[in-house]
Amino acid sequence: MQYDTTNKRTNTLRCWSLCWFLFYEKEPTERSGMALSEAEIEAMKVPYGRNQFKVSDGGGLYLLVKSSGRYWKLAYRFDGKQKTLAFGVHPTVGLDEAREKREAAKALLAQNIDPGEIRKQEREEIRASVEQKNSVTSAQESNQRSVQQRPAVIDDAEQQRLEGRRLRIIQILARTKNFTTNEATLLESLHSEGFHISFDRLRTDLAWLSEQHAIQLKCGALWGIYLTQPGLDASLGSVWIPGIRKPEFSTEQE
């Protein structure tokens, strides 16, 4: 007896079609007239072969069930357009809270107000509030840093020592050949005259004198230092540069 393989294939296809209809096509996407319960929501899982499905709670509110979670949505029409409003993720937003949000949205729609636009305005207000708060915080931190970085006010005695050291620097330069030297030689000269300062302190003094145009600097491994005409005049007392002590009349001039 010859077995009919054609009928076997046909029956197999019919069986698979029936299984698909029972297990997938019958999976509800809308439940008219049936409200959800928390127990039903907790038991919901995405069927094999599906990415997501929707379950309605009525009044446009539905739960979008995905492998990544369950998301509350509200489907509504406004100004002739179909729109969707997100209410949050279950269980962070529970069933009762989602229904309250639905009723609040329906109340806005009854007044011809788009709840989606209200949501956008709320987000903009929150964003503006956060930006303003961050701006105020940044300004406060900047002011605090400015106060912390502000140089400390020195007393009169320290100011006199500082101005005297600046005078001695330009006087040493005035005695050098061609009115030029380097910072290493200058530091040795200062130490020999009782000005025991560090290399960094010397560079700070030189930078200040350069800003006052009393000297010129040529930066390199060792700074080259050149006395300018205003610096020479200040060393002789013929001009006065504020911040540099005026030389005494008894000061030796060469």
pLDDT digits (tens, 9 = 90+) for 74-127: 999 998 899 999 999 998 999 999 999 999 999 989 989 899 888 888 888 788
pLDDT higher than threshold 90 for residue 205: yes
The residue whose two tokens read 């698909």 is 20
Instruction: List, in order of start, the domains of the chain with CATH numbers.
Output: 22-123 (3.30.160.390), 157-236 (1.10.10.10)
pLDDT higher than threshold 50 for residue 13: no
Residue in 245, 211, 226 with CA at minimum distance from that of residue 172: 226
Per-residue pLDDT band at 231 (split at 50, 70, 90): very high
pLDDT of residue 128: 79
Per-residue pLDDT band at 171 (split at 50, 70, 90): very high
DSSP string, 150-213: SPPPP-HHHHHHHHHHHHHHHHHHHHSGGGEEEHHHHHHHHHHTT----HHHHHHHHHHHHHTT
Q: Which residue has the higher pLDDT, 241 or 252?
A: 241
**CA dist., res. 11 & res. 116, Å (int):** 51
DSSP string, 91-159: TTS-HHHHHHHHHHHHHHHHTT--HHHHHHHHHHHHHHHHHHHHHHHHHHHHHHHHHHHSPPPP-HHHH
3-state secondary structure of 51: coil
Longest dimension (CA), the chain: 140
Label the pairing between strands 180-182 and 81-90: unpaired
Per-residue pLDDT band at 254 (split at 50, 70, 90): very low
pLDDT in tens, 56-80: 999 999 999 998 889 999 999 998 8
- The overall average pLDDT reported for the chain is 81
